[in-house]
Amino acid sequence: MLSQQTILITGGTGSFGHTFVPMTLAKYNPRKIIIYSRDEMKQWEMAKLYKDDSRVRFFIGDVRDRDLLDKLLAKHTVQAVLHFAGLKAVGESVSQPLRYYDNNVHGSQVLLQACADAGVFNFVFSSSATVYGEPAQMPISEACPVGQPTNPYGRSKLMVEDMLCDVAAS
């Protein structure tokens, strides 16, 4: 249960409202939410909205910055991570595939290693339906087998899913 736990949300400025508000409405009352994102303007806007909520802390950073992650995880006893940080434009991923692999795959690997070293193993990853490629059935359910993603964005998400499966198995 997320009640009275410290939750780290990466890339949270985009997904924060879709996560934090339902958590509190469902009576999951986290002791602290740490929003970790590199988007300073969105951080500032979110900080203004939640200035009176003492549970919410904002940090500017990048999931590929291992030193900063280590400091953050050492300072705050985090029980769970909601990993929403990632580039997400399919078309852009086709024209800039290395940028997507660096940010989405390498960034997730750095975050996972920092979490593992800090003993944080409750991890939620925001993936994408693009991992199904041309889906075997519609509507897509979690029972559908993953397919062959048709773009670097989808492949980067599937790579992270595979990495998470390997970490969970270890």
HSE of 25, CA atoms in CB hemisphere, 13 A: 6
Contacts 24+ apart (CB under 8 A), 145-154: 151/90, 151/93, 151/94, 152/93, 152/94, 152/97, 152/100, 152/101, 153/87, 153/88, 153/89, 153/90, 153/92, 153/93, 153/100, 153/104, 153/128, 154/90, 154/128, 154/130
Catalytic residue among 36, 100, 132, 153: 153
Type of residue found at 114: A
Active site residue 100: no
Residues noted as catalytic: 153
